[in-house]
Amino acid sequence: MRHRSFLSLVLTVLAVFTLLALCDAAQREVVVVQSSDIKPFREAMEGFEEACGCVISEIITLSSESPDVAARIRSMRPDGVLAVGMESLSRLQSIKVIPIFYTMGSSLPKSFHAAQNVSGVNMLVSPERYGEGVLQILPKVKRVGFIYNPANTGQFADKLIKIFRSHSVNVIAKQARSPGDAPRLLEDMKGMVDVLLLLPDTTVTTPEMVNILLMHSFRNSIPVIAFSEKYARMGALAAITVSPRDLGVQAGEMARARLAGHAGRKHTYGYSKKNVLIINTTIARKLDIGIRESVLRKSIKVE
């Protein structure tokens, strides 16, 4: 009986502490800074609020006439700040104490690497998930090629090369130091690859280069697999991307732990835990590429 009474007391105490923690989280106020008011950002914000369990007290949308946002936030003294988009994050660099959570941006800028108050998740699929996605879509592929700038996506590219080679897939990776290098490097790969990858690298995602890449794909019947839905809609065979809501949820989970004091002062950031496959079925038919039904069932299909 004593054992049962003690166990009951322990469970009651745990329940009380859990309830207090939830109540405390619900009282936390977070200010949102977004670079623009667009649907993907709103979806990320909704996912964040749901997972964080906190209250969004104000939403600041940046404009060319925005005052010193960081100073304004410091005067508001919120429990945390959610930066949606990389421009928003860049405007908060002078905030050193208030916890900052970011999402809907690329890799954390080097200027923030030493900051102990910044946590978040970028909008890139990890190299592991990207490689797995390519092999799900094209399981028999033997030669992949891509162009990248080592200064932008060097680490991503290195990991991706290792992943493909571990599956006995040959990789032709060309380094472009500037956008002007990319067309020539693409031409150099002609006849050497079975699929071209468009990585999230600003050196090779200029409008001009994307058009050149897609025209090369059509003329040579070489599929392109990209990282964003818009490129799948433009003519890539597929995109391996992320859901804005999932990104928001992941950032919200980080915020909940940090604001509750469970994450200490160490910053955490990384890739999205989930990915979304998008298949352009029209391009698949034109290139006579059969996508397995099991892959199509779990993909978003566009035409």
Are residues 42 and 51 in contact, defined by beta-carbon separation less than 8 angstroms?
no
Neighbours of 126 (CB within 10 A): 18
Residues 171 and 250 in one domain: no
Residues 187 and 285 in one domain: yes
Residues 133 and 236 in one domain: yes
* Confidence class for position 171, pLDDT limits 50, 70, 90: very high
Are residues 278 and 229 in contact, defined by beta-carbon separation less than 8 angstroms?
yes
Whole-model pTM: value is 0.77
* Confidence class for position 10, pLDDT limits 50, 70, 90: very low
Residue 100: CATH number of its domain: 3.40.50.2300
Residues 142 and 81 in one domain: no
Residues 260 and 115 in one domain: yes
Residues 172 and 291 in one domain: yes
Query: Closest Cα partner for 203 from 193, 213, 194, 195?
Result: 213
Residues 189 and 296 in one domain: yes
3-state secondary structure (DSSP) of residue 279 = strand
**3-class secondary structure per residue, 123-177:** EEECHHHHHHHHHHHCCCCCEEEEEECHHHHHHHHHHHHHHHHHCCCEEEEEECC
Please report the sign of the dihedral spanned by the C-alpha atoms of residue 33, residue 251, residue 86, residue 241: negative
* Confidence class for position 297, pLDDT limits 50, 70, 90: very high
How many folded domains does the chain comprise?
2
* Residue 1 clears pLDDT 80, i.e. is over it: no
CA distance 73 to 69: 6
* Confidence class for position 123, pLDDT limits 50, 70, 90: confident
3-state secondary structure (DSSP) of residue 244 = helix
Residue 174 burial class via C-beta count within 10 angstroms: exposed 0-12, middle 13-18, buried 19 and up: middle
Low-confidence winner among 6-15, 57-66, 78-87, 243-252 (lowest mean pLDDT): 6-15
Residues 73 and 212 in one domain: no
Residues 161 and 290 in one domain: yes
* Residue 167 clears pLDDT 90, i.e. is over it: yes
pLDDT of residue 151: 87
Which domain, by its residues, includes 182? Answer: 127-241+276-302
Average of per-residue pLDDT across 180-191: 96
Query: Closest Cα partner for 66 from 33, 95, 106?
Result: 33
Per-residue burial over 271-298, b if 16 or more Cβ lie within 10 Å, else e, is bbeebbbbbbeebbeeeebebeeebeee
Residues 41 and 135 in one domain: no
* DSSP tag of 266: -
* Confidence class for position 278, pLDDT limits 50, 70, 90: very high
3-state secondary structure (DSSP) of residue 100 = strand
Residues 143 and 205 in one domain: yes
pLDDT digits (tens, 9 = 90+) for 230-266: 999 999 999 999 999 999 999 999 999 999 886 555 5
